[in-house]
């Protein structure tokens, strides 16, 4: 029996803890720092995901058998190297391997060296050089901070003026700190996106189910990029031909390139891809489970996740024990509800209630993101709830509009308990629930009407309530 520590506090970490808890080999689940949701299935530990020294001490003192790292920052800081030096078992890539995500310049140069299809780009340490390069490109263009920026370091510049202001903000004004001191400027790729998750053991890998995410904040694919406004799995734009190309032109050259640099990647790698008539091209590499993709992928996994993570660490992902991963054929959807203003300045101090009532609906799961629990008045640092829907046969009648959340009894009120359910209409990614699902189902979806046509027990919903607090009445507050 295993004691498992999950590092992080988001919806991804709640989904990982939820899935690992189901393993017959799991004895205890610790989450550091965790949230109100993880507290219901494990034991929260008041240690920040960035406090690597305290995490090591906790793992040693509590005889933790396996640590699973959720966020990218601890990986980039070398948490895996530190745990390994202390003889502690941990899932995730080393600091050197995590540079695939923590440095877009490193990843771009590696792809260039090994002919991995990606956007044409230049890398820069001086803003004037970057501006001159922009003059040679056709707009729109993409400007990326080299380092980690909480999923918000990628900007699309529609014209030269926007490019100048973005480059100045990143490189001269320090918008993303050191992460933006060096940048990548690249061509704008057109097509549809797809995310692939692969368990990589250094030499071999095993693909999980595909997913597609949606990052723009507002309807109609507009607004700033976010850490993710939603996702669905499986992707509706993936096929056997693309998968063959992915193996031959992306994953195998990538692993060879890392091995040539004497870097062993063991952990979860998910390349973000842009698909077009020319095939798949890499947008970016991520070195951990995606958020919110994980909330759509793991509920479809019937197999035990724990042995798969163990096999990855041991370099045995191609072993018979890990050879087959069983999947639920039902699709899954994650939709993020975020407080007005996200990803910039957003409202706090609001309460979200009705989560326990929503969880009683047939097939409903509640995933929390950054929540904390206090008796009486509860607080949360930000708002990022997700709704994940699973439909037994199709996505044709999936009622993922904000009105469905209201129908489930979810409410948000301000500090003075004034009802502000208008929040749902103010900031809800209807593009994912209507337009994207319409592409999957090949039918029109009218969110306002479909709720009356679909019974509650025909849909499974998971609500990832981000950064709330849950009180003794299971209401949530935004701190």
Domain of residue 149: give its range: 120-187
Residues of the chain short of pLDDT 50, as ranges, are 375-408, 411-479
Same domain, 90 and 167: no
Say if residue 378 is in the same domain as residue 463. yes
| pLDDT on residue 352 | 60
Neighbouring residues of 345: CB distance < 8 A, sequence distance ≥ 6: none
Q: Which of 256, 287, 322 is the last residue of a domain?
A: 322
Do 78 and 168 reside in the same domain of the chain? Answer: no
Q: What is the pLDDT of residue 387?
A: 44
Q: Which two tokens stand for residue 306?
A: 């724990």
Q: What is the CATH number of the domain that holds 177?
A: 3.30.1490.20
Is 105 a member of any domain?
A: no
Write out the two tokens for 54. Answer: 């305290």
Rounded-to-5 percentages of helix, strand, coil across the chain? 35, 30, 40
CA distance 409 to 424: 12
* CB 326, CB 206: distance < 8 Å: no
Distance CA 27, CA 66 (A): 11
Query: What is the DSSP track for 155-176?
Result: EEESSHHHHHHHHIIIIIS-TT
- Tokens 């704008």 sit on residue: 188
Q: Domain boundary at 298, 322, 346, which?
A: 322
At residue 72, the 3 state secondary structure works out as: helix
Same domain (yes/no): 225, 286: yes
Q: The CATH number of the domain where 23 resides is what?
A: 3.40.50.20
Q: What is the pLDDT of residues 311-359, one digit of tens each?
A: 999 999 999 888 789 998 878 777 666 666 777 777 665 666 666 766 6
Residues in the chain: 479
- Co-location of 183 and 313 in the same domain: no
22 within domain boundaries: yes
The CA-based angle 334-336-342, given to 5 degrees, is: 155
Stated pTM of the model: 0.84
What pLDDT is attached to residue 390? 42
Dump pLDDT digits (tens) for 425-470: 333 333 344 444 444 343 333 232 222 222 222 233 444 443 332 3
Q: Does 103 fall in a domain?
A: no
Question: Which of 277, 203, 287 lies closest to 237 in space, CA to CA?
Answer: 277
| Within a domain: 180 | yes
Instruction: Count how many domains the chain has.
Output: 4
Count of beta carbons in the 10 Å neighbourhood of residue 284: 19
Which token pair is 404?
Answer: 């469905």
User: Do 183 and 210 share a domain, yes or no?
Assistant: no
Do 335 and 400 form a contact (C-beta atoms < 8 A)? yes
What's the confidence (pLDDT) of residue 347?
67
Return phi, psi of residue 281, to 5°: -130, 145
Domain's final residue, options 152, 187, 222: 187
- Report the pLDDT value the prediction gives residue 433, as an integer from 0 to 100: 41
Do 141 and 256 lie in a common domain? Answer: no
| Same domain as 126, residue 83 | no
Q: Which pLDDT belongs to residue 354?
A: 67
User: Do residues 185 and 195 lie in contact, with contact meaning Cβ atoms separated by under 8 Å?
Assistant: no
Q: Are strands 66-69 and 90-91 parallel, antiparallel or unpaired?
A: parallel
The answer to whether position 107 is within a domain reads: no
36: closest CA among 335, 336, 355, 460?
355
Q: Which residues pair with 155 in a beta bridge?
A: 143
**Are residues 197 and 171 part of one domain?**
no
CATH code, domain with 251:
3.30.470.20
| pLDDT value at residue 35 | 87
Tell me, yes or no, whether 342 and 470 share the same domain.
yes
């Amino acid at each position: 029996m295993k004691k498992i520590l999950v590092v992080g506090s988001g919806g991804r970490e709640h989904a990982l803890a939820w899935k690992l808890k189901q393993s017959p080999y799991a004895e205890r689940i610790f989450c550091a720092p965790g949230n109100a949701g993880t507290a219901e299935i494990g034991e929260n530990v008041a240690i920040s995901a960035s406090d690597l020294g305290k995490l090591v001490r906790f793992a040693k003192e509590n005889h933790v058998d396996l640590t699973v790292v959720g966020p990218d920052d601890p990986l980039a800081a070398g948490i895996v190297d530190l745990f390994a030096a202390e003889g502690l078992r941990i899932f995730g890539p080393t600091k050197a391997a995590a540079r695939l995500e923590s440095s877009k310049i490193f990843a771009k140069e590696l792809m260039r060296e090994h002919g991995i299809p990606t956007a044409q780009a230049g890398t820069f340490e001086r803003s004037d050089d970057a501006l001159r390069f922009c003059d040679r490109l056709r707009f729109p263009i993409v400007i990326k901070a080299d380092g980690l920026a909480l999923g918000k370091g990628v900007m699309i510049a529609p014209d030269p003026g926007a490019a100048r202001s973005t480059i100045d903000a990143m490189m001269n004004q320090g918008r993303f700190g050191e992460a933006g001191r060096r940048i990548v400027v690249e061509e704008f790729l057109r097509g549809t996106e797809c995310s692939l998750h692969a368990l990589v053991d250094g030499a071999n890998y095993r693909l999980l189910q595909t997913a597609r995410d949606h990052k723009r904040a507002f309807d109609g694919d507009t607004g700033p990029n976010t850490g993710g406004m939603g996702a669905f799995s499986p992707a509706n734009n993936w096929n056997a031909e693309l998968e063959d190309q992915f193996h031959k032109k992306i994953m195998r050259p990538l692993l060879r390139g890392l091995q040539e640099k004497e870097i062993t990647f063991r952990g979860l790698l998910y390349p973000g891809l842009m698909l077009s008539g020319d095939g798949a091209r890499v947008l970016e590499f991520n070195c951990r489970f995606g958020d919110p993709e994980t909330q759509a992928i793991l509920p479809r996994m019937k197999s035990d996740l724990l042995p798969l993570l163990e096999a990855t660490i041991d370099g045995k992902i191609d072993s018979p024990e890990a050879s087959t991963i069983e999947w639920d054929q039902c699709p899954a959807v994650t939709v993020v509800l975020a407080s007005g203003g996200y990803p910039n300045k957003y409202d706090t101090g609001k309460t979200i209630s009705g989560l326990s009532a929503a969880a009683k609906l047939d097939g409903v799961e509640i995933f929390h993101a950054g929540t904390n629990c206090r008796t009486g008045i509860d607080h949360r640092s930000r708002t990022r709830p997700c709704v994940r829907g699973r439909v037994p046969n199709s996505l044709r009648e999936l009622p993922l509009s904000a009105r469905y959340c209201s129908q489930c009894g979810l409410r948000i009120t301000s500090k003075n308990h004034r009802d502000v359910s208008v929040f749902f209409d103010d900031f809800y990614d209807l593009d994912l629930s209507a337009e994207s699902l319409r592409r999957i189902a090949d039918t029109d979806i009218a969110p306002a009407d479909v709720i009356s046509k679909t019974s509650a027990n025909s849909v499974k919903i998971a609500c990832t309530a981000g950064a709330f607090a849950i009180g003794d009445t299971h209401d949530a507050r935004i701190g």
